[in-house]
Copies of this chain bind each other. A is one copy, B any other.
């Protein structure tokens, strides 16, 4: 099967993936032996590319890297995929254009995994939720607060909140609201109001239009502001993050910051996603 959006999986699938991720931390089985994956990735993608390539290799599989622009040639995507199917067992693709990834997926029965588009970033957010679940058993009862404008990260958090049923606050200027408030999405313009009830604070790099002191004064996540949150709250900024912009230098150096450590799980969650999409039991 394909994995293009978080809600391509049912909760049952995700439970299975999380359980596999647990077991993969201590696994020597070459579950992907003899399997090859074509990766369409910008070479300069560090975290996602490294964790996919190493995850595949650790399970005995092979990956071959192509630039995403390979998909922008005149050749029909159905033909690109149909030839690749001769030699590959799956495609992992980062491409700005979600429609292109979606077209790849509908062109064949070769599993396609979305490793980020300008619309969403399902592997990353699923891995973050897994990391949170390892930190706190009651992760579905926590209040999540995303601070920042619209983009692929908040989009995937919104999809995740809807699927998992946890509460997601979105804090920014009113114009960045994504949809009307509903059971799992609440838009606020007051950061303080949101932080007071928050367990998990999330950010994403700012678009140019928000990189200014007005925004920073109102919405930059600082250590002082994190002090307003509920007990045991933590900050998980989406990398690359920028000190002095969406987050302050002091909050990154504080105990609130869980960033580096959290991404360790990328490798296991992505391995589990691959195994699930290939129907490999483990």
- Copies of this protein in the assembly total 3
Say whether A263 faces chain B, with CB atoms less than 8 Å apart.
yes
The answer on a CB contact under 8 Å between B239 and A84 is no
- List chain B residues, Cβ under 8 A from A32: none
The stretch among A17-25, A75-83, A170-178, A273-281 that forms the contact with chain B is A75-83
Residue A124 lies at the interface, judged by CB distance under 8 Å to chain B: no
Check A54–B260 contact: CB distance below 8 A: no
Kindly identify, within residues 253 to 273 of chain A, every residue whose CB is under 8 Å from any CB belonging to chain B. 259-261, 263-264, 266-267
Given contacts A69-B44, A82-B260, are A87 and B242 in contact (CB under 8 A)? Answer: no
Q: How far is the CB of A217 from the nearest CB of chain B, in Å?
A: 21
Q: Which residues of B contact A113 (CB under 8 A)?
A: none
| Given A54-B64, A54-B87, A239 contacting B75 (CB threshold 8 A) | yes
Does any Cβ of B come within 8 Å of A199's Cβ? no
Residues of B within 8 A of A266 (CB): 86
Binds B, one of A4-12, A45-53, A159-167, A225-233: A45-53
A74 near B260: Cβ-Cβ < 8 Å: no
Question: A109 in the interface, Cβ–Cβ < 8 Å?
Answer: no
Any B CB within 8 A of the CB of A14: no
Chain B residues with CB below 8 A from A139, complex form: none
Is A83 a contact of B47 with CB atoms below 8 Å?
yes
A240 touches B38 (CB 8 A): no
Q: Assess A67 versus B87: contact at CB under 8 Å? Given A50-B38, A239-B75, A239-B79.
A: no
Give the contacting residue for A36; candidates B44, B54, B67, B87; CB below 8 A: B54
Cα distance, A49 to B88, chains bound together (Å): 13
Q: Which residue of B lies closest to A81 (CB)?
A: B260
Q: Which residues of B contact A53 (CB under 8 A)?
A: 64
Least CB separation from A241: chain B residue: B79
With both beta carbons as reference points, the residue of chain B lying nearest to A51 in the complex is identified as B87
Q: How far is the CB of A13 from chain B (nearest CB, A)?
A: 26
A209 to chain B minimum Cβ distance, whole angstroms, is: 16
- CB pair B264–A79 under 8 Å, yes or no, is no
B residues less than 8 Å from A47 (CB atoms): 83
Q: What residues on B are CB-neighbors of A133 within 8 Å? A: none
Please list the 6 inter-chain residue pairs (A to B) with the smallest Cβ-Cβ separation, ordered nearest first: A75-B240, A44-B70, A82-B260, A86-B264, A50-B87, A43-B67
A-B contact pairs, 28 of them (CB 8 A): A36-B54, A38-B50, A43-B65, A43-B67, A44-B66, A44-B67, A44-B70, A44-B73, A46-B80, A46-B83, A50-B64, A50-B84, A50-B87, A53-B64, A54-B62, A54-B87, A75-B242, A76-B243, A79-B241, A79-B260, A80-B240, A83-B239, A83-B259, A85-B260, A86-B263, A86-B264, A86-B267, A87-B264
